[in-house]
Chains A and B, each alone.
Chain A
Amino acid sequence: MKCAVDIEARDVEEMYINIDPIQAGGRLTADAMKAAISFGDGYSVCDNCRNPPRLDYIQKPPIAQFHADLATWLNMDTARVVPGARRGFQAVASTYVEKGDPVIVTSLAHYTEFMAIEAAGGVPREIPKDAKNHITPDAAAEKIEAVIREFSHTPPLLFVDHVDYQFGNVHDVAGIIKVAHQYDIPVLVNGAYTVGIMPVDGKALGADFVVGSGHKSMAAPAPSGVLATTKEHAGQVFRTTQAKGDVTGRTFGMKEVEMMGCTLMGVTVVGMMASFPHVRERVQHWETEVAHSQAVVDALLSIEGTKVLSDYPRQHSLTRIDTRESFDTVAEHHKKRGFFLSSDLKKRGITGVIPGSTKVWKFNTFGLTDKQIRHVGESFIEVARENGLNIV
């Protein structure tokens, strides 16, 4: 079925249980789908843009209120919607980092943090992870000291991932921020895997900036996200333009430099807004999501030879699993080679495992129903049993 010339309609979410590691938290709510139908046109939210002509002042639809609600919900002072978490990283790095400055990230940091630092002319330096794949406050302190020795000045910024994308482990962000603040280093918390799926309290963490991803974890269309900050930093990162045309003498009033004026102008922001009440509600049920994750991981661990590389018991719905001594032993002699796993899962209505993966791979159970979780767990066991693996 085509939705337009040469474009197949996407019915993955309707036909399958999707356990793709990056797609789970961004699935739209029904209300976001309705908003997308209504606000698909390019500048659709600008019908009632008045003075000052800026996105976060628009009253109808209630985008101004949404901004205030986002900040309150994250327990920060002010917030802006941005075209994806990466643009939040970029806005902060561009504000604080000068050419040649060291900027601290972690060895589990998302690549877009590196890109943001590079674009600002900074030099990334990584805090090593420990043997359990955690970033600790002690390791952060050691790295800060090492960087000060290397560069003879304090880094202007530190990025830390609340939950990392590689293992789905929850890190001691509050502890790391406490250390960074002892050196007067502001900290950006990358909440791409937390904001919108589990409770996040920016003040409790001590964060200077909290960045979330709309399309990864807030049931919103892409690209969308949020950048929230404190009163202390808002004036800098959300500074207004001072530019003036030398020929025309034009100035641009309230436009914020790092936001390039306005950010999300249609289906992205309205989709975020439509999902927001549901997102606010769903983070209250994080324990159920963790229990679901645990149930699927336990089903996988019942397959002899399987190991979980993420923290166990699970504390997040994103998990990295090692099946080199289980499914990969099947792949060695199976006629479909490593593709047998995704193929057998697809026959059972499950998608999202990268075709060909039977060694180390990730999956995400966020947002599935009890029944779907049971189906996923049972399916992994059935596939294992049918391919001669032992269930213990």
Chain B
Amino acid sequence: MSKRAVDAVFQALFILSDLRFLLRETAPQHDFDEAQKKRAATSLEKVKRQIAIIEEELVQ
């Protein structure tokens, strides 16, 4: 059982949900302002960290 991997999968999905919400807020052009770009960049960094955990726990 890898609680850490399970948590990372959920965390990644939750962070991507925040990104999805950002797409909704900015539809249809998705023309991000500076604050939105920062939010998106932060989210992507967080997702990468979670994916790294999943790889570490399940694949490597």
Chain A nearest CB from B2 CB (Å) reads 18
| Interface presence of A387 (CB below 8 A) | no
Known: A30-B20, A34-B13, A38-B10. Is A369-B28 also a contact (CB below 8 A)? no
Other A-B contacts than A30-B18, A37-B10, 18 sampled, CB-CB below 8 A, are: A13-B27, A14-B20, A14-B23, A14-B24, A16-B27, A17-B28, A27-B24, A29-B21, A30-B17, A30-B20, A30-B21, A33-B17, A34-B14, A37-B17, A349-B27, A350-B28, A371-B26, A372-B27
Interchain CA distance A372-B25 in the complex, whole Å: 8
Q: Mark A2-18, 1 if CB is under 8 A from B, else 0.
A: 00000000000111110
Known: A34-B13, A34-B14, A37-B14. Is A348-B28 also a contact (CB below 8 A)? yes
Q: Is the CB of A349 within 8 A of B29?
A: yes
Interchain CA distance A97-B21 in the complex, whole Å: 44
Interchain CA distance A15-B23 in the complex, whole Å: 8
Q: Determine the main DSSP class of B at the interface with A.
A: helix
Q: List 23 A-B contacts (CB under 8 A).
A: A13-B24, A13-B27, A14-B27, A15-B28, A16-B28, A17-B27, A17-B28, A27-B24, A29-B21, A33-B20, A34-B13, A34-B17, A37-B13, A38-B10, A348-B28, A349-B27, A349-B28, A349-B29, A350-B28, A369-B25, A369-B26, A371-B26, A372-B27
Contacting residues, chain A, for B14 (C-beta < 8 A)? 34, 37
Query: Interface residue count for B (Cβ, 8 Å)?
Result: 14
List residues 16-50 of chain B with CB under 8 A from any CB of chain A.
17-18, 20-21, 23-29
In the complex formed, the residue of B with least CB distance to A32 is: B17
Q: Is the CB of B21 within 8 A of A33?
A: yes
Contacting residues, chain A, for B13 (C-beta < 8 A)? 34, 37
Q: Which of A14, A27, A371 has the most CB of B within 10 A?
A: A14
Binding site for B on A (CB under 8 A): 13-17, 27, 29-30, 33-34, 37-38, 348-350, 369, 371-372, 375
In the complex formed, the residue of B with least CB distance to A350 is: B28
Chain A nearest CB from B22 CB (Å) reads 9
Chain A nearest CB from B28 CB (Å) reads 2
Contacting residues, chain B, for A29 (C-beta < 8 A)? 21
Contacting residues, chain A, for B17 (C-beta < 8 A)? 30, 33-34, 37
Q: Which 10 A/B pairs are nearest by Cβ-Cβ distance?
A: A349-B28, A30-B21, A33-B17, A14-B23, A34-B14, A13-B24, A34-B17, A37-B13, A30-B17, A30-B18
In the complex formed, the residue of B with least CB distance to A371 is: B26
Chain A nearest CB from B7 CB (Å) reads 12
Contacting residues, chain A, for B24 (C-beta < 8 A)? 13-14, 27
Interchain CA distance A16-B24 in the complex, whole Å: 8
In the complex formed, the residue of A with least CB distance to B23 is: A14
Contacting residues, chain A, for B29 (C-beta < 8 A)? 349, 375
Contacting residues, chain B, for A371 (C-beta < 8 A)? 26
Contacting residues, chain A, for B26 (C-beta < 8 A)? 369, 371
Interchain CA distance A34-B29 in the complex, whole Å: 24
Interchain CA distance A375-B27 in the complex, whole Å: 10
Interchain CA distance A37-B24 in the complex, whole Å: 18
Q: Which of A33, A348, A369, A375 has the most CB of B within 10 A?
A: A33
Contacting residues, chain B, for A349 (C-beta < 8 A)? 27-29
Interchain CA distance A17-B27 in the complex, whole Å: 6
